[in-house]
Chain A
Amino acid sequence: MRKMDNEKQILERAKKGDKDAMAVIIEHNQKNVFALAYRMTGNREDALDIAQDTFIKAIHNVKKFRGDSKISTWLYSIAANVSRDHLRKHGRVDFVPLEETWIKSADDSPFKITEENEKRDLVRRGISTLPPKMREVFVLRYEENLPIAEIAEVLNRSQGTVKAQIFQATEKIRAFVQ
């Protein structure tokens, strides 16, 4: 992976149409964009498509991006929008069945392993039942570990709204887990 020494310089180069700079932006942000899309859809192929669309839209609009926020924040914002569009069109979140992703640990008892797997599956199912706007807040908070202020910036919502949505989402997940 190429180095991204100075975000502002890379951005300026990308704005001038420098393909290397665009490639650097993609390479450095693909993991986060893919992760958000994957948690939103639960499907690897869909997440890859969303990541691709996100970067295409970003590159098309790079000249309009003023660089007030971090590139990653801007890309999260586009990815959340593309994911929401995708869910609207397809209206589903896919799940890999529990047995295919079974956690195995030699240290734990079979009972404990079963219990852990069931809880993990419940968390995943809980996430899938969240409405898209609440799910993206939840994923950005718990998966990407973004601070409230940055989530608010990414999703163009107030911090109060974000906090309320995190609370509601956590309550729903809690209801699933307990």
Chain B
Amino acid sequence: MSLRTPLAQARGLGAAREGMHHWWTQRLTALALIPLSLWLVASIITITGADYATAVDWVRSPLVAVLLLLFIAAAFYHAQLGMQVVLEDYVHAEWAKVATIILSKFLMIALAFVAAFAVLRVALGG
């Protein structure tokens, strides 16, 4: 039993004042992903079963490269926010919750960078 008052115990454990930012960026990225993901699916369909040269030409178009990078940025940002909410809801032990959220954020950032680097390498003709 602690002798500290309930208020003193609760202080510093409250909201990090980032809830609104999380909520808002989740909606913003969602909004951006509506046209971006529709474009991506439609584009991938048009190059279904394409050979290497066709696919490279596709990514080398500046518009395609920029749209791919925008999709990657929005999708992984959105994914990372969503995973955080899911982990906060289902992982109850505090250390495991923090650890899995950090791990998932690192993973999403790593995947985003690999994807973006691949696009840049093709687009800039590495």
A and B associate in one complex: no
B residues apposed to A, CB below 8 Å:
none
